[in-house]
Structure 1
Amino acid sequence: MVAVLAINFSLIHAAPGDPASVIAGEMGGGDQAVIDSIKKAYGLDKPLHEQFITYLGKSVRGDLGMSYTYNKPVSSLIAERIGPTILLVLTALLVAIAVGTLLGVFASLKPKSFSSAVVTVFSLAGLAMPVFWTGILLVILFGKVWPVMPISGMYDVRNYGATGWAAALDVLHHLVLPALTLTLVYLAQYSRLARASMLEVLGSDYVRTARAKGLNGAVVVFKHALRNALMPIVTIAGLQFGNLISGAVLVETVFSWPGLGTLALDAILGRDYPTLLGVLTFSSLFVITANLLTDLSYRWIDPRLRAQ
């Protein structure tokens, strides 16, 4: 985390643009004296290494600084936006893993059949589509051609103040298209990975032995073969968690989803260094946590690891 903070801090401050000038412009403009006073107020007049040491010291205490744009603590801004992003990312990840794995298993049972070829073509198409392009196509399809789904925001203004199941269904209704956009891109990867992993496992000795014992085909596939084929899928899922966060930035922008992605975009446009650093720090923490959970899940998937 310290290394991530150092790299992000250096890259952000090396980018062109001056936050003091942006703040002065939003205030209606100002001369050099006004810009210098803004820099002094936010500590931007100090050398870069002193700014980093100050920021690092505050970060380890949970203080991510004040947002230049919103004039609020960055931690409170992230707390407001983190829920929608987690909802979007986890929904897309779980659906992509579940559906992609089932498609891969289905394709591996008859690898030379027409259905297997359809899954392969679908996977290649999903891998080739940029996530923002997929989102724009869904907006056009369900917003203009067949307007049956909401294409913007997280809530319907007509349901303002709703609670309970009414509020939950409203959120789920708005979640469909953003989650589907992320799911389509990553589902393709899991289906191809599951197909390749299952083909390898189905040709192993213990699977042939299980079939020779007369076990039911579904038991052989889902209890014996699939469990061993899940190891590379779980590994990729943990490693791709960071890619899902970065993909969510584009998806949230396309669908105006009020998560960390739109907050990061606003911070980039406004040269809001503390907010952008806070979002990057939380994203890095997500990735580290996901990799830790991936390592721990190996013990549940593979009984041999528990035995050791």
Structure 2
Amino acid sequence: MAAYFIRRLLLIIPTFIGITIMVFIITRFVPGGPIERMIAQAQQMQSMAGGTLTGALSKEQSQPLSEEQIKELKKYYGFDKPVLISYLLWLGKVMTGDLGVSTRYYDPVWSMIKERIPISLYFGIISLFLVYSVCIPLGIAKAIKHKSSFDNLTSIIVFIGYAIPGWVVGVLLLVLLAAHWEIFPLGGMVSDNFEDLTVIAKLLDIIRHTILPLIAYMIGSFTVMTFLMKNTLMDNLSSDYVRTAIAKGLSFKKAVFKHALRNSLIPIATSFGNNVSVVLSGSFLIEKVFNINGMGLLGYESVVERDYPVVLGILVISSLLFMIGNILSDICVAIVDPRVRFE
């Protein structure tokens, strides 16, 4: 098994290079990069300065930067070198922990990401814990009480939550519970007077700011996990080994929890590791609605603003987490299913 996981860890290297070089090449050929944005800003500044409408000035306004200035900008942002050489230089910096500098805020990329990781981790870990805590018991109960009123009612509730986008739920919660009834705050992570509160008051303030975004995050996450648990458990309950155990005198409860349940957790364990990267990704729409500066909103804004160093920095972290998550999935499967032997 150790040799298998060593091979998997070594495969991270070529996979990481393949993912990053593909995105790096795309960022070099997609229009609207930092240089084009600076030219547009210079044109806007000239327009606001009130240039005349003569043909000569109009021609000059169409290209406010000289060729020497554009060459200096290309050199500064690394666009003056071939793509492969630029990628190797960028990869060398990444290996030393340098993710570059944002072309929009001119701050180090790692410091921008580091500020938002705790927020995304906070919501991601709580959401992951609550989803598994609710979906697994709910799926077991639905499988045992298949076609009952409880099964039908919970199916309706879960599908309604799955059909409504999380950000729509967030807007409705803000309008009703925050703006209309003023039970919860309108957004953000803490109140304006957070520093003046006591420790218990700070904890309660964070909880009040967490509830609405957490509901919006989780509203659509129950369906797949719940029905995966239910259907897998129903398949195992109809298997020969469970029917044989019951026929030999084993109670139905013990047949479920000692035999069928462990085999039913295998698909759940397979997808567990993949959720590691999802924990940090967040949802930019929900973060936008609740004014939360998480990783999702940072990634969305960096793509829209063509802030390529931030895009690549987030890609580095998310791709590594996703590949490590796949290895964690294999470990979880080996723990749940003793028949699995990685050779």
Given candidates 291, 304, 307, the residue that maps to 2:339 is 304
Give 1:189's aligned amino acid. Answer: V
Residue 166 of structure 1, CA deviation = 4.2
Residue 231 of structure 1, CA deviation = 0.8
Change (3 A) 1:244 1:212: same
Counterpart for residue 104 of structure 1: 139
Give 1:11's aligned amino acid. Answer: I
Cα RMSD (Å) = 2.8
Contact 1:239/1:287 (CA < 8 Å) preserved in 2?
yes
Given candidates 17, 21, 35, the residue that maps to 1:2 is 17
Given candidates 65, 70, 75, the residue that maps to 1:32 is 65
Of 239-248 and 112-121, the range deviating more from structure 2: 239-248
Residue 296 of structure 1, CA deviation = 0.8
Task: Give distance in 1, aligned partners of 2:255 and 2:138.
Answer: 17
Residue 17 of structure 1, CA deviation = 0.8
TM-score (norm: length of structure 2): 0.79
Change (3 A) 1:165 1:6: farther
Given candidates 109, 114, 123, the residue that maps to 1:74 is 109
Task: Give distance in 2, aligned partners of 1:85 and 1:210.
Answer: 45
Contact 2:143/2:230 (CA < 8 Å) preserved in 1?
yes
Task: Give distance in 2, aligned partners of 1:241 and 1:151.
Answer: 29
Counterpart for residue 122 of structure 2: 87
Change (3 A) 1:216 1:158: farther
Of 169-178 and 50-59, the range deviating more from structure 2: 169-178
Change (3 A) 1:74 1:173: same
Given candidates 247, 252, 256, the residue that maps to 1:221 is 256
Identity %: 34
Change (3 A) 1:112 1:306: same
Aligned pair count?
A: 308
Matches within 5 A, 1:1-308: 1-23=16-38, 29=45, 31-33=64-66, 34-160=69-195, 164-212=199-247, 214-215=249-250, 217-239=252-274, 241-242=276-277, 246=281, 248-305=283-340
Residue 158 of structure 1, CA deviation = 1.6
Residue 247 of structure 1, CA deviation = 5.1
Contact 1:230/1:301 (CA < 8 Å) preserved in 2?
yes
What are the Cα deviations for residues 71-122 of structure 1, in whole angstroms up to 9, with x where unaligned?
Answer: 2221121111111112212221221122112221111112111221122223
Change (3 A) 1:229 1:184: same
Task: Give distance in 1, aligned partners of 2:38 and 2:253.
Answer: 63
Give 2:124's aligned amino acid. Answer: V
Partner of 1:90, secondary structure, is helix
Change (3 A) 1:295 1:307: closer
Counterpart for residue 12 of structure 2: none
Change (3 A) 1:306 1:41: closer
Task: Give distance in 2, aligned partners of 1:219 and 1:211.
Answer: 9
Residue 15 of structure 1, CA deviation = 2.9
**Which runs of 5 or more structure 1 residues have no equivalent in the other structure?**
none
Contact 2:117/2:280 (CA < 8 Å) preserved in 1?
no
